[in-house]
Amino acid sequence: MAEPIALFVDFDGTLIDIAPTPAAVQVSALLLQTLAALAPRLNGALACISGRAYADLAPLLQGAGIALVGSHGAEILQAAPADARLAALAQRCRQALQPWPGALVEEKPCGLALHWRQAPAAEAMIRELGAQLAAALPTHGLCEGRKVIEWLPAHIDKGAALQQLMQQAPYCGRMPVFIGDDTSDISAMQAARALGGLAFAVGERVADHADGVFARPANVLAWLELQVRIRPA
């Protein structure tokens, strides 16, 4: 794959292993160094499109020198102003989930995510809260991932973010390639393929939407290192 590409990657589960909580992830120096070396070889056409809030993602990839898109595309290349409704709703959810200490309420500028990875028994309550949030946030839609449900502004998804970036420099005129691991990545995988590009899955969860599969994030890193070697500086 030596032709000019625009490379888009998810973060959790793609560049790094899934951790018990979003705050527990570890980003290796090797990953940061590899991304920093690859970005100029792609003339800057390298972006991470993550479900994390931009303000959460930026410190984790500091030094990588790549473009960042947060909140599934709601925060394109910069942090977005906070939705004033979310703080009260987040507090309501935290109170309801007190009987399940491992349940996590993740407040983002544009949305709200409820995790039950550390509290499997909380799933039913979280889904009940989901119905309440749907009524309280008619401007938002549901996005479901691995042991998490999230409410995002309507019409926001990673595919729309990829399409928007592909209309501007340095991405336009290149073949889009997207790598992701979860159901929230499907829209971007579909968008990349619709634009004549390729999509790759990490693991089997969304493999049906991919042109190829990486077993785990370590294999993605190895592929990124290969791209550094085969593409001229």
Catalytically active residues, by annotation:
10
- Token output for 168: 């501007």
Reduced DSSP (H G I as helix, E B as strand, rest coil) percent helix, strand, coil of the chain, to 5? 40, 20, 40
Query: CB under 8 Å to 222, separation ≥6 — which residues?
Result: none
User: CA 95, CA 159: separation in Å to the nearest integer?
Assistant: 34
Among 61, 137, 47, 157, smallest CA distance to 92 is for 137
User: CA 37, CA 127: separation in Å to the nearest integer?
Assistant: 43
User: CA 180, CA 186: separation in Å to the nearest integer?
Assistant: 8
- Specify the pairing of strand 46-49 against strand 175-180: unpaired
- Token output for 128: 């009940």
76 in Cβ contact with 156 (< 8 Å): no
User: How many residues are present in the chain?
Assistant: 233
Query: CB under 8 Å to 121, separation ≥6 — which residues?
Result: 100
Residue whose structure tokens are 């056409």: 45
